[in-house]
Amino acid sequence: MKAVGFGSVLLAALFGVASTNSISTREIRKRLHTYPSHVKTSPGSYIIQFENDAPDNHADHYQAISEVDVNHQADDSIDPLQLASVEKVKRVWPVRHYTIASQCGKSSGAPDPYLHKPTGVERVVEELGLSGKGVHIGVVDSGVDYTHPELGGCWKTEGCMWQYGADLVGDNFNPSVGDTETNPGPVPMDCDGHGTHVSGIIAGQGPNVRGVAPNVTLGMYRVFGCLAANGAGGTSDDIVIKAVEMAFNDKSDIISISIGEGSWPDEPLSIAATNIANKGTVVVAAAGNDGKGGLFTANAPAVAKGIIGVGSVDNWDYTVVEMVISNPVSSSPIVTTLSSVVDHQFEFDLETTYRANNHCKRN
């Protein structure tokens, strides 16, 4: 199984390839990307992008050893400049970490579970006749509580909405504290809630929550462990790239990525997403929750070429209708989304929205 024009390879994959003496030191240094000090990375782990005309044997070698049960060990003493000097290497990046957006709290419920109706989502099915039937969507996220009654209550059974996907990491994966070993489970069960919420927006089957496309066929690729909420844990871009490539190889028509950090179109996840989009798969990515920071705060891969970046803009200066959800701390107005969460519940999403007075921020 060949990667999509992008070698998501760690040190073990560079396999003793000799460097070329025809490349200047200046050119080698230009190939090596360094992140600002506030960006967390995995020491001794790198992602390598090869030139388009590079032989496939490098990526094929790593693909081969990753698909069999063998123990392989990287040499952390390798100088990244040595990696950058290898012939046909275009760019070298340290493996960086991603976190799920911080949560501001969860709602205790609302008397009317149909407050999502003003979005007009029902009209897509009822008036336009578009239910998503025959469309395959691969979701790269924290997993899904597939036992939720409005998300099918099933996994890979006949007629089930969930027909493909995988757990790539396991419960304890947390590169933020050095736990980079993956121990995937048999199913991509969600222990955070983010992926379940996203899945409800896409394909909730009602009656409480109706998704945009309730008859799609879904796949879930879990890339976060159980410590991802509120920034306590995270994932890394090599894992996310692998998940995106798996969704592509599983013939997803659309790939959803609600993950990212502020970056540019020429970082690894963005390049991988663009390569897949260029092959005809629609890639939809969240623009992130940092818009209050001004320009250049949109997340990668939403900023990548050929990607549909999704976000929302709220007008707090001239509001026509205001919805207020009260809690013991504040009753300021918010904009939010009702969707499914784990344990078969429904909640307003307060993790990806901002209050008018910027209440929604990490303390």
DSSP 17-43: PPBPTTS-HHHHHHHB----TTS-EEE
Collapsing DSSP to helix, strand or coil, 95 comes out as strand
pTM over 0.85: no
pLDDT at 225: 92
Compute the mean pLDDT over every residue in the chain, rounded to the nearest whole number.
77
Average pLDDT over residues 312-332: 55
More confident residue, 286 or 357: 286
* pLDDT classification of 3: cutoffs 50, 70, 90: very low
Res 307: pLDDT: 94
At residue 18, the pLDDT reads: 46
Instruction: Give the per-residue pLDDT at 123.
Output: 82
- In the DSSP assignment, the letter for residue 150 is G
Q: Which residues of 19-36 are buried (b: 16+ CB within 10 A; e: fewer)?
A: eeeebeeeebeebbbeee
pLDDT band with cut points at 50, 70 and 90 for residue 156? very high
Which residue from 149, 130, 102, 115 is spatially nearest to 212, judged by alpha carbons?
A: 130
Q: Assign residue 199 a region: left if phi > 0, alpha if psi is -120 to 50, beta otherwise?
A: alpha
Per-residue pLDDT band for 311 (boundaries 50, 70, 90) equals confident
Cα–Cα distance measured from residue 331 to residue 322, given in angstroms and rounded to the nearest whole number = 12
Lowest mean pLDDT among 9-18, 71-80, 137-146: 9-18
The average pLDDT across 294-312 equals 84
Taking each helix axis from N to C end, the angle separating 268-278 and 237-249, rounded to the nearest 10 degrees, works out to 10
The three-state secondary structure class of 142 is coil
Q: What's the CA gap between 88 and 301, in Å, rounded?
A: 25
In which element (H, E) is residue 309 found? strand 308-310
- 282 has a pLDDT exceeding 90: yes
Domain ranges of the chain: 11-97, 117-259+312-348
Q: Is the predicted pLDDT of residue 122 greater than 70, yes or no? A: yes
Tens digits of residue pLDDT in 189-221: 998 889 999 999 999 987 777 889 999 999 999
Who has greater pLDDT, 318 or 105? 318
Q: Say which residue, 128 or 331, is predicted with more confidence.
A: 128
340-354 mean pLDDT: 49
Please give the pLDDT value at position 344: 55
The residue among 137 and 331 whose pLDDT is bigger is 137
Region 171-177: mean pLDDT is 88
Name the band, by pLDDT with cuts 50, 70 and 90, for residue 140: very high
More confident residue, 208 or 181: 181
Rounded to an integer, the average pLDDT of 281-301 is 81
Residue 166: pLDDT above 70?
yes
- What integer is the mean pLDDT of 225-233? 69
- With CA atoms as reference, report the closest residue to 49 among 32, 65, 36, 37: 32
Give the model's pLDDT for residue 69. Answer: 52
